[in-house]
Amino acid sequence: MDEKEIKKEMDRLISVLEKANYQYYVLGRPELTDNEYDSLLEKLKRLEEKYPHLAREDSPTKRVGSDLASDFPEVEHSIPVLSLDKAYSTLDVRAWIDRIRKTETGDFAITAEEKIDGISLVLYYRNGLLSQAVTRGNGRKGNDITANAKTIRQIPLSIPVQEEVIVRGEVYLPVRFFDEINKKMEVPYANPRNLAGGVLRRIKSSEVAAVPLHFFAYEAIFDSAPDSYSDILNLLREWKFSVNDNFFRADTSLGYDKLFSAIEEFIKKETERRDYLDYQIDGLVFKLDSISMRERLGHTEHHPRWAIAYKFEAPQAVTELLRIDVQVGRTGRLTPVARLKPVELSGSVISNVTLHNQDYVQALELSPGDIVGISKRGDVIPAIEKVVEKAENSPPVWSMPQTCPVCGSQVEKKGSHHFCSNFDCPAQIKGRLKFFVSPRQMDIAVLGNETIEYLVDKGHIKNISDLYYFDYTVLISEQGFGEKKISQIIKGIEDSKKLPFSRLLIALGIPDIGPSVVKALVDNNLADIDELKKIAEERDITRLTAIEGVGESTANQLIKWFSDERFLSELESLQKAGFSLREKPEEKKDGIFSGQTWCITGSFNNFNPRSKAQKLIEDNGGKVTSTVSGKTTHLLAGESAGSKLAKARELGIKIVTEDEFISMLDSVKNSDKNKNQQPELF
Ligand SMILES: NC(=O)c1ccc[n+]([C@@H]2O[C@H](COP(=O)([O-])OP(=O)(O)OC[C@H]3O[C@@H](n4cnc5c(N)ncnc54)[C@H](O)[C@@H]3O)[C@@H](O)[C@H]2O)c1
Ligand SMILES: [Zn+2]
């Protein structure tokens, strides 16, 4: 496309989106689905990013979709009433947190709540009374619908504060009323949201009062507001607003992994809960808890930088399935992969999508040539959702080959997967080696995929142990292998030998034997080659299943592998190369905090991030949890500690200040000194 055509396409998108905005916001009768709308908006956004000089000032990407109607007086908002930035996956949420981290040092709390699919309303309270209720409008100006809003019972007409308070929230119609009320409408509405929007703009308040509209409050903006969103929500509750209780709060001091698994859990819980709620939600809203941080981050013309909406449904794209290839993995598993005609979806070009296994292909009734709908639902990984249009003279549903596409060996079906039966299949060899050297395993970065492929194709390496016996210096004359690279490989190989047996065992990639099983073996003193061989010889399955976390099939795998001659001789070679094949459980840390459960709150001068304090407690035998409960024995309270401190006081938990904590640690330092050793505390 030349620029003229691109400009034309952008103009076309803008006029389609503007019409859709009017139908959606003002008439409450959209003709596009939200997915279609979002896809078009994404498309326009991408074009504007690529051709910024063609972007129009009045583009719908730059402003809030307007719901201004001519029947009501227009009022200027005293704050910008914005839209929200969108996330379609937890990775998008992660990227948002990363952006905040770039400017904000130290830990911060994130909250999440349901994104009510209703009508945005801004309430202005002055001298303790509801003085104006204004729609979002175009973000700067809205319609004054005060009389109508006053008919909604969840909107208090007065609040116990004199200064100006702006309350934001969502008007919605509970789902249980929708059908019955909709039946009485001249032209029925498609959903409760549209009905609520239509009713709220009725001229006669008595007509509005006849419909049981509800209101959830979610922000309050006023000069003396507390610095925490959670505290503000509690104030709103005290003022008799209806505040949604499905709420999540977590702190970055948890560490990234824990924070994200908590976020994922909340998303999962809400995705399930969604269908049982009496109001519709179209996503979740993640926000920063700290109001002062929010102010520092500010907003764009379109959305605040301190919040992001996670949407349950991702936009879809439609494209053609060109063919289905089969990949063979390290365990021999055959995975069908769809090759698509490249298509853009939420900002990335998609041309390959996994199809998992034959059952999956069967369920979709896929065959090459089909036109398919793909989405990135709740995940970054795109998936084929459905066949939109069958191929002409459609071939039968695609099926798995009978032989391995790499080595030609017979294919076996186990459960819902197919496997190449040949352990020496080049694809399996390469897969095992790539897994072995990968960052989470032996972490030998110089041995990248290409190098592994080369070494296997040249016949230099076949088994994992070969990595430790091959003379890499002979590669010097070969392309791509300089002296530097070779010495890096040798160093990586040498370093890896120092890793404990547990790491080696996981890296060998035995099916089912992952980190948790291996940890259980270590903890039970069974990460020992002789022990494992003995158990395998005696087929002592109960010895293994007695361990928590080891089931029968895992136990059988272990027995199978530790009686396999070939595997054992591999291990022997690795041992001769320098690996240790036994590992003792880590001694339980004993120390001044043994038997204690600590919780940490507030901010500190010496422990930034807070995880530093957490580590010190754990290193000295204590446990750290994120909430104060009956089990908590100590609360480490830094500056501006909030609700946790109050709760700890209530429960009579010992409260420790930063200075007291340091002197507790000092006492260990001193007593250790007497033992002639001085551990690093800070
Ligand atoms: N089908 C169509 O033709 C059409 C047209 C226009 C817009 N739309 C839909 O509307 C969406 C964009 O609309 P938008 O900009 O009005 O809204 P948005 O999706 O950008 O979300 C912002 C709004 O979320 C609301 N909200 C609900 N719960 C909230 C909470 N707990 N915290 C904070 N805010 C909360 C607020 O009213 C806020 O104004 C699009 O993604 C599209 O799906 C559809
Ligand atoms: Zn094969």
Do 485 and 519 sit in the same domain of this protein?
no
Ligand 2 geometric centre to CA of 418 (Å): 11
Task: Confirm whether 582 is domain-assigned.
Answer: no
Range of the domain at 565: 501-577
Task: Confirm whether 651 is domain-assigned.
Answer: yes
Kindly identify the ligand whose nearest atom is closest to the C-alpha of 283: 1
Instruction: Output the residue whose Cα is nearest ligand 1's atom 17.
Output: 83
Q: Say if residue 287 carries a ligand binding annotation.
A: yes
ipTM: 0.91
CATH code for the domain of 661: 3.40.50.10190
CATH code for the domain of 21: 1.10.287.610
Q: Are 410 and 428 in contact (CB under 8 A)?
A: no
Do 456 and 359 sit in the same domain of this protein?
no
Do 402 and 338 sit in the same domain of this protein?
yes
pLDDT < 70 regions, the chain: 347, 377-380, 588, 670-682
Q: Which among 670, 480, 504 has a CA at the least distance from the CA of 573?
A: 504
How many Å apart are CA 517 and CA 532, to the nearest integer? 13
Is 633 exposed, middle or buried (CB count within 10 Å of its CB: 0-12, 13-18, 19+)?
A: middle
Q: Where are the beta strands (DSSP E) in 301-381?
A: 307-311, 316-328, 333-345, 348-354, 371-375
pLDDT at 588: 67
pLDDT at 671: 64
34 lines ligand 1 (CB under 6 A): yes
- Other Cβ atoms less than 10 A from the Cβ of 515: the count is 12
Do 347 and 490 sit in the same domain of this protein?
no
CATH code for the domain of 542: 1.10.150.20
Our mutation pick for probing the ligand 1 site, out of 25, 27, 37, counting the most ligand atoms within 8 A of Cβ, is 37
**Alpha helix stretches (DSSP H) within 239-312:** 256-273, 291-297
Tokens standing for 226?
A: 């507390």
- DSSP state for residue 582 in the 8-state scheme: B
**Domains in the chain, number:** 6
* Element spanning 87, H or E: strand 86-87
* Element spanning 599, H or E: strand 597-601
Residue at which a domain ends, from 34, 62, 90: 62
CATH code for the domain of 353: 2.40.50.140
45 lines ligand 1 (CB under 6 A): no
Do 147 and 229 sit in the same domain of this protein?
yes
Task: Confirm whether 67 is domain-assigned.
Answer: no
pLDDT at 677: 42
What is the SS3 assignment for 137-191?
Answer: CCCCEEEECHHHHCCCCCCCCECCCCCCEEEEEEEECCHHHHHHHHHCCCCCCCC
Do 78 and 196 sit in the same domain of this protein?
yes
Task: Confirm whether 57 is domain-assigned.
Answer: yes
Do 334 and 401 sit in the same domain of this protein?
yes
Residue at which a domain ends, from 418, 438, 465: 418
- Type of residue at 203: I
Q: Is 65 helix (H, G, I), strand (E, B) or coil?
A: coil
Do 382 and 458 sit in the same domain of this protein?
no
Q: Are 35 and 313 in contact (CB under 8 A)?
A: yes
Task: Confirm whether 35 is domain-assigned.
Answer: yes
How many Å apart are CA 43 and CA 49, to the nearest integer? 10
67 lines ligand 1 (CB under 6 A): no
Q: Are 458 and 475 in contact (CB under 8 A)?
A: no
The minimum-distance atom of ligand 1 relative to the CA of 282 is 19
Instruction: Output the residue whose Cα is nearest ligand 1's atom 26.
Output: 115
How many Å apart are CA 224 and CA 87, to the nearest integer? 32
Tokens standing for 321?
A: 């399935």
Q: Say if residue 466 carries a ligand binding annotation.
A: no
Residues 6+ apart with CB under 8 A from 148: 133, 200, 201, 202, 205, 208
Task: Confirm whether 88 is domain-assigned.
Answer: yes
* Element spanning 131, H or E: strand 129-135
pLDDT at 322: 96
How many Å apart are CA 385 and CA 375, to the nearest integer? 7
304 lines ligand 1 (CB under 6 A): no
Residue 62 falls in the annotated catalytic set: no
Q: Are 458 and 451 in contact (CB under 8 A)?
A: no
Which of the residues 45, 86, 115, 644 is marked catalytic? 115
Do 601 and 656 sit in the same domain of this protein?
yes
Output the pTM of the full model. Answer: 0.54
Do 115 and 201 sit in the same domain of this protein?
yes
Do 511 and 402 sit in the same domain of this protein?
no
Phi, psi of 573 (to 5 degrees): -60, -40
Instruction: Output the residue whose Cα is nearest ligand 1's atom 15.
Output: 83
How many Å apart are CA 105 and CA 641, to the nearest integer? 18
27 lines ligand 1 (CB under 6 A): no
Residue at which a domain ends, from 496, 517, 540: 496
Do 297 and 389 sit in the same domain of this protein?
no
pLDDT at 484: 93
CA pseudo-torsion sign 460, 463, 469, 472 = positive
Q: Say if residue 36 carries a ligand binding annotation.
A: yes
pLDDT at 34: 81
pLDDT at 606: 87
644 lines ligand 1 (CB under 6 A): no
pLDDT at 8: 94
CATH code for the domain of 109: 3.30.470.30
- Other Cβ atoms less than 10 A from the Cβ of 474: the count is 11
Looking up tokens 């136990």, which residue turns up?
555
Task: Confirm whether 680 is domain-assigned.
Answer: no
pLDDT at 536: 96
Q: Say if residue 599 carries a ligand binding annotation.
A: no
Task: Confirm whether 7 is domain-assigned.
Answer: yes
CA pseudo-torsion sign 316, 322, 323, 328 = negative
Looking up tokens 């989470």, which residue turns up?
440
